[in-house]
Chains A and B, each alone.
Chain A
Amino acid sequence: QQQVKQSPQSLIVQKGGISIINCAYENTAFDYFPWYQQFPGKGPALLIAIRPDVSEKKEGRFTISFNKSAKQFSLHIMDSQPGDSATYFCAAPDSSYKLIFGSGTRLLVRP
């Protein structure tokens, strides 16, 4: 019930395309859903986050779509760029503020 399942494991997108990464959770008590971006050899950086009282949040080219009834949320990267090539993690904090991470998605944006 504490798991966050993330897919796909890897993704290849052409420059200018849309990258879509999906996550699903079981615990209905989760109330905060961040996405982190990690470049090789670096720590994860907070990219965008959403609370379940809204269905969508957009920041620049990055959008989170949230479906509370399906217990799913997804990250959309519009106009994907080679510089977006990184590993993306979805997450949700439990009641003790520990982050439950998805398994990660390695995104490669081809020029």
Chain B
Amino acid sequence: GAVVSQHPSRVICKSGTSVKIECRSLDFQATTMFWYRQFPKKSLMLMATSNEGSKATYEQGVEKDKFLINHASLTLSTLTVTSAHPEDSSFYICSARPPGQGRKTQYFGPGTRLLVL
């Protein structure tokens, strides 16, 4: 159990275009999903916390107008990188937390490799 999927697994786009990444919890409902960015050989950097039915909470330094997050259902959150530029190229990973006050485990998706040309 506790499977999280991401789509696409990798995407190449031209500078200036927008890219949408989907994150789905396949066998549980997730009231909270998280979006991370990971640079090569580095730890995960939290970008934002996504709560179903409400606005995402962004970490300091993350542009909310550039990284649009929508959490429209209990099993789906999307990250849209708007007007992508080469510096946005990175590995984007989502995670989902099962509901419940004591549930602190996060389950991660397989990641999406974004390359902006």
A residues sitting closer than 8 Å to B (CB atoms) are 31-32, 34, 36, 41-46, 49, 89, 93, 96-99, 101-104, 106
Whether B43 pairs with A102 at a CB distance below 8 angstroms is: yes
With a cutoff of 8 Å between Cβ atoms, the chain A residues found around residue B43 in the complex are: 89, 101-104
Whether A43 pairs with B32 at a CB distance below 8 angstroms is: no
With a cutoff of 8 Å between Cβ atoms, the chain B residues found around residue A34 in the complex are: 104-106
A102 to B93 Cα, complex, angstroms: 17
With a cutoff of 8 Å between Cβ atoms, the chain B residues found around residue A104 in the complex are: 42-43
Query: Which residues of B, 36-59, contact A by the 8 Å Cβ criterion?
Result: 41-44, 46, 49
Residue of A42, A49, A97 touching B111 (CB-CB under 8 A):
A42
Whether B108 pairs with A49 at a CB distance below 8 angstroms is: no
With a cutoff of 8 Å between Cβ atoms, the chain B residues found around residue A49 in the complex are: 105
With a cutoff of 8 Å between Cβ atoms, the chain A residues found around residue B97 in the complex are: 97
Query: Which residues of B, 67-111, contact A by the 8 Å Cβ criterion?
Result: 91, 93, 95, 97, 104-111
- Between A32, A99, A101, the greatest number of chain B beta carbons within 10 A of the residue's beta carbon is seen for A99
Indicate with 1 or 0, residue by residue over B25-38, a CB within 8 angstroms of chain A CB atoms: 00000001010000
Known: A98-B34, A98-B49. A43 touches B109 (CB 8 A): yes
Interface of A is mostly: loop
Whether B113 pairs with A41 at a CB distance below 8 angstroms is: yes
Residue ID in chain A nearest B97 by CB atoms? A97
**Total contacting residues, chain B, CB less than 8 A:** 24
B residues sitting closer than 8 Å to A (CB atoms) are 2, 4, 6, 32, 34, 41-44, 46, 49, 91, 93, 95, 97, 104-111, 113
Known: A98-B46, A101-B44. A45 touches B104 (CB 8 A): no
With a cutoff of 8 Å between Cβ atoms, the chain B residues found around residue A32 in the complex are: 104-105
The smallest beta-carbon distance between A68 and chain B, in angstroms, is 17
Whether A96 pairs with B108 at a CB distance below 8 angstroms is: no
With a cutoff of 8 Å between Cβ atoms, the chain B residues found around residue A89 in the complex are: 43-44
A42 to B42 Cα, complex, angstroms: 13
Supplied contacts A43-B6, A43-B109, 14 more A-B pairs, CB within 8 Å: A34-B104, A43-B110, A46-B2, A46-B105, A89-B44, A93-B104, A97-B32, A97-B97, A97-B104, A98-B49, A99-B95, A99-B106, A104-B42, A104-B43
